[in-house]
Chain A
Amino acid sequence: MFGLDKKDATLLVIVAILTLCAPFLLNPFPSESALAQFNAGYPDLMQRFVIFGIFAIGFNILFGLTGYLSFGHAAFLGVGSYSAVWMFKLLSMNVIPAIILSVVVAGLFSLLIGFISLRRSGIYFSILTLAFAQMSFNLAYSVLTPITNGETGLQLTLNDPRILGQSATADGSIPVTSLFGLEMRSTYELVMGPWAFQFNAGYYLCAVIMVLAFYMSIRIFRSPFGLMLRAIKSNQTRMSYTGLNPKPYTLAAFVISGMYAGLAGGLMASMDPLAGAERMQWTASGEVVLMTILGGAGTLIGPVLGAGFIKYFENIFSKINDTVLHSWFSFMPDGLENLVVMLVYPFIGKGWHLTLGLMFMMVVIFLPGGLVEGGQRIRRLFRRKDDTPAAKTEPAE
């Protein structure tokens, strides 16, 4: 199916079904119940899942396949956001031209940066990309203020021309982003008994694009081009001795992953039409590195898992405060309850980044293949118990 073998096709279908049914799957708890705070099925968060999923898939094409660790990918996401918002300001509120422009601009930008940075490899490459990203971040904050609107961030105003659209709606407010008239923020709410499921137009646009992006990445992984990229990772010298020039392949991978980042940035701006320089800071690039490694670099599904995992816990964990904790452990005797709350509290709520950092370190130290490898190890453990011949699951890398 679609030029994929059976296993990959199954994976694609599973991912597609999961993303399309996400409003159901992420909302397992009735909205009145105490567990409702674990529900992630609201549009804003679901959009972030898939957008960062796209970002991480793109990063994985570079890092997972070629092994080049870029610490500057957030710059492409930021550039994508800015160009999308400019499209909304100048052309129309339709998301399609905005997304196309953001992909193109991010692609050109990454072509420039990649061309320079890829002259070096290893740690120098990381530092070069880091330097470029910090440079764009600093410029966006200072001299480029006419384009980026500096610290305030780029926003839509009532005075924007919007040649093909309208500057302001009939009732004098700023128009909203739409796909040929279908407003991105429009949400259909389905109430079934105690459950309320939200179906958001913007989410479904992002989800469809993510499935397409995922399909693209499978094709890249399985193509001769992907094989070349893996050759770069395993032994660049041997590759050049066989008469192949690794440079164009690496550059292509860099540009492709930059375009993925631009796509994510454009979608981010389409869901919420503003763009700020903080999206380009190097810690934001660090975040996508965290996602990819945590999920499993070099695997197909890993980055998506990592992105979902981090975004879910970032939003859900950080909502838990000590009152909630006390109510959870209220079955314990008072002294013990306070002790447990005291021990757990630093790791959740505002301290969620501490948990993330620890988890990330654990993964790098013990589980270089990320969550995907963890899953495979567990599966193998069970297989051995059943005493069935272990069907070997090949990781993509």
Chain B
Amino acid sequence: MDAIILQILNGLDKGSAYALIALGLTLIFGTLGVVNFAHGALFMIGAFCAVTLSKILSLSYIILDETQTDFLGKPLKVKVPYAESWFGPEIGAAIIDWSVPLAILFSIPVMLLIGFAMERGLIKHFYKRPHADQILVTFGLAIVMQEIIKYFYGANPIPTPAPDVFTGSYDFGVLLGFDPNVIIYPYWRLVYFGFSAIIIGAVFSFLRFTTFGMVVRAGMADRETVGLLGIDIDKRFTLMFGIAAAVAGLAGVMYAPINSPNYHMGMDFLVLSFVVVVVGGMGSLPGAVLAGFLLGTLESFASMNEVKSIFPGIDQIIIYVVAILILLTRPRGLMGRKGVMED
């Protein structure tokens, strides 16, 4: 029982990352009809937004501290971050400590801008071209983005810690009446899960309850008619592309403390998130979220030792096996609309 609860919890945070990326991919596919292989790169850029902000915030200058001496007897050189000298040591240290959550604010405009630039500059010209061309050009773009990041940040992963408050683990078992230290769960993963739930909720309510969202949904259903009604649907779709990029970026920002960002993390997530989208059904937003959590949980269950002893290696391939089975038995995915991309 405790093991099952633990695996469900483990699945949730992996699942929330999958769900967020898949949500962005589906937004783009559902609105613009474009298969975006650069979406993993957007996730990666989001993570590097967190890295950049924490670097900027901890920019420091060197002063000589007369009260301390180094081993040669000279005054010790001490690095003082600008943030601490401007806002006082306590607030300054707190700002640096909270750089990852602060990066959320920083990354939204950055990702929106990147999204707009990408859509206006490149994707726009590929609406009419076959999916294969779209895959190829965004694949090229992903390589370019990844290499640019590699040029500026190097090839090694850059550890980006979460705020100190969230470093420990939460003892879930006590809450549910188990012995202590049986079900423990890192705080940051809880935060990640909560955060992604908020983002997913925000995207859905935006589409559901605003006029803008209504127009976008109408455009997803029948683009031509919406255009004929005199609505400039292209402009709204561009904004949706920006939002999708921002969702991917936010997923990346918050993922930075879980896994130190490196330049190819996007490619690693890309394949999985495509599988998630396909399982959920191309163009179905609830499907993407559902499939994300489902596959995340399945993956963590498959990595239980009891399961592994029956099917060795199942944890490595479970997602792909599920995807292949679903693709072959239910062509439109779990929640895909009938008739959308069924062949």
Q: Chain A: residues with CB nearer than 8 A to chain B? A: 67, 69, 116, 119-124, 126-128, 130-132, 134-135, 138-139, 141-144, 282-283, 286, 289, 293, 346, 351, 353-354, 356-358, 360-361, 364-365, 368
Given the interface pairs A126-B135, A354-B148, A358-B144, the reply to whether A142 lies near B274 with Cβ below 8 Å is no
Contact status B274-A127, CB under 8 Å: yes
CB-CB under 8 A from A346, the residues of chain B are 151
Contact status A131-B320, CB under 8 Å: yes
CB-CB under 8 A from B214, the residues of chain A are none
Which of these, A123, A131, A139, contacts B316 with CB under 8 Å? A139
Considering the chains assembled together, what is the distance between the CA atoms of A67 and B323 in angstroms?
23
Contact status A364-B324, CB under 8 Å: no
Considering the chains assembled together, what is the distance between the CA atoms of A132 and B274 in angstroms?
13
Q: Chain B: residues with CB nearer than 8 A to chain A? A: 35, 122, 125, 131-133, 135-137, 139-144, 146-148, 150-151, 267, 271, 274-275, 278, 282, 312-313, 316-317, 320-321, 323-324, 327-328, 331, 341, 343
Interchain residue pairs with CB less than 8 A apart (6):
A127-B274, A139-B317, A143-B313, A286-B139, A354-B143, A357-B142
Given the interface pairs A116-B328, A289-B136, A354-B148, the reply to whether A127 lies near B317 with Cβ below 8 Å is no
User: Can you name the residue of chain B whose Cβ is closest to the Cβ of A141?
Assistant: B316
Considering the chains assembled together, what is the distance between the CA atoms of A283 and B122 in angstroms?
23
Given the interface pairs A138-B317, A143-B312, A283-B267, the reply to whether A357 lies near B141 with Cβ below 8 Å is yes
Contact status A131-B143, CB under 8 Å: no
Considering the chains assembled together, what is the distance between the CA atoms of A360 and B35 in angstroms?
17
Contact status B278-A124, CB under 8 Å: yes
Given the interface pairs A127-B275, A357-B144, the reply to whether A364 lies near B313 with Cβ below 8 Å is no
- What are the 10 tightest A-B residue pairs by CB atom distance, in nearest-first order? A143-B313, A357-B143, A354-B147, A138-B316, A361-B140, A357-B144, A360-B140, A131-B320, A135-B320, A364-B137
Considering the chains assembled together, what is the distance between the CA atoms of A139 and B311 in angstroms?
12
CB-CB under 8 A from A144, the residues of chain B are 313
Main DSSP-derived SS at the B contact region: helix
Contact status A293-B136, CB under 8 Å: yes
Given the interface pairs A116-B324, A124-B278, A124-B327, the reply to whether A365 lies near B135 with Cβ below 8 Å is no
CB-CB under 8 A from B35, the residues of chain A are 123
CB-CB under 8 A from A282, the residues of chain B are 271
Which of these, B150, B151, B327, contacts A127 with CB under 8 Å? B327
CB-CB under 8 A from B341, the residues of chain A are 122-124
Considering the chains assembled together, what is the distance between the CA atoms of A126 and B35 in angstroms?
11
Contact status B320-A123, CB under 8 Å: no
Contact status A139-B313, CB under 8 Å: yes
CB-CB under 8 A from B150, the residues of chain A are 351
Considering the chains assembled together, what is the distance between the CA atoms of A142 and B327 in angstroms?
25
Considering the chains assembled together, what is the distance between the CA atoms of A144 and B313 in angstroms?
8
How far in angstroms is the closest Cβ of chain B from A24? 34
Which of these, B140, B147, B316, contacts A364 with CB under 8 Å? B140
CB-CB under 8 A from A368, the residues of chain B are 133
Beyond the given pairs A353-B147, A357-B143, 13 more chain A to chain B contacts, judged by CB atoms under 8 angstroms and listed by A's residue number, are: A116-B328, A120-B327, A130-B274, A131-B323, A134-B271, A135-B321, A138-B320, A139-B313, A139-B316, A354-B147, A358-B140, A358-B144, A364-B137
Given the interface pairs A122-B343, A141-B316, A142-B316, the reply to whether A351 lies near B324 with Cβ below 8 Å is no
How far in angstroms is the closest Cβ of chain B from A142? 5
User: Can you name the residue of chain B whose Cβ is closest to the Cβ of A359?
Assistant: B140
How far in angstroms is the closest Cβ of chain B from A309? 15
Contact status B131-A123, CB under 8 Å: yes
User: Can you name the residue of chain B whose Cβ is closest to the Cβ of A283?
Assistant: B267
User: Can you name the residue of chain A whose Cβ is closest to the Cβ of B272?
Assistant: A134
Contact status A69-B132, CB under 8 Å: yes
Which of these, A120, A142, A356, contacts B313 with CB under 8 Å? A142
Contact status A120-B320, CB under 8 Å: no
Considering the chains assembled together, what is the distance between the CA atoms of A105 and B23 in angstroms?
39
CB-CB under 8 A from A121, the residues of chain B are 343
User: Can you name the residue of chain B whose Cβ is closest to the Cβ of A363?
Assistant: B140
CB-CB under 8 A from B136, the residues of chain A are 69, 289, 293, 360, 364
Contact status B328-A361, CB under 8 Å: no
Considering the chains assembled together, what is the distance between the CA atoms of A286 and B142 in angstroms?
12
Which of these, A67, A132, A289, A293, contacts B324 with CB under 8 Å? A132
How far in angstroms is the closest Cβ of chain A from B245? 18
User: Can you name the residue of chain B whose Cβ is closest to the Cβ of A143?
Assistant: B313
Considering the chains assembled together, what is the distance between the CA atoms of A353 and B141 in angstroms?
11
Contact status B320-A134, CB under 8 Å: yes
CB-CB under 8 A from A130, the residues of chain B are 271, 274
Considering the chains assembled together, what is the distance between the CA atoms of A143 and B318 in angstroms?
13
User: Can you name the residue of chain A whose Cβ is closest to the Cβ of B139?
Assistant: A286
Given the interface pairs A120-B331, A135-B317, A141-B316, the reply to whether A364 lies near B133 with Cβ below 8 Å is yes
Considering the chains assembled together, what is the distance between the CA atoms of A121 and B328 in angstroms?
11
Contact status B320-A361, CB under 8 Å: no
How far in angstroms is the closest Cβ of chain A from B116? 18
How far in angstroms is the closest Cβ of chain A from B20? 19
Contact status B324-A131, CB under 8 Å: yes
Considering the chains assembled together, what is the distance between the CA atoms of A119 and B278 in angstroms?
15
Which of these, A143, A283, A361, contacts B144 with CB under 8 Å? A361
Contact status B131-A131, CB under 8 Å: no
CB-CB under 8 A from B122, the residues of chain A are 361, 365
Contact status A360-B143, CB under 8 Å: yes
Considering the chains assembled together, what is the distance between the CA atoms of A126 and B312 in angstroms?
27
Contact status A120-B317, CB under 8 Å: no
CB-CB under 8 A from A67, the residues of chain B are 132
CB-CB under 8 A from A141, the residues of chain B are 316
Considering the chains assembled together, what is the distance between the CA atoms of A346 and B147 in angstroms?
9
Contact status A128-B327, CB under 8 Å: yes
How far in angstroms is the closest Cβ of chain A from B328? 6
Considering the chains assembled together, what is the distance between the CA atoms of A253 and B92 in angstroms?
64
CB-CB under 8 A from B132, the residues of chain A are 67, 69, 126
How far in angstroms is the closest Cβ of chain B from A128? 6
Which of these, B135, B140, B144, B312, contacts A123 with CB under 8 Å? B135
Considering the chains assembled together, what is the distance between the CA atoms of A333 and B142 in angstroms?
37
Given the interface pairs A69-B132, A69-B135, A142-B316, the reply to whether A361 lies near B141 with Cβ below 8 Å is yes
User: Can you name the residue of chain B whose Cβ is closest to the Cβ of A120?
Assistant: B327
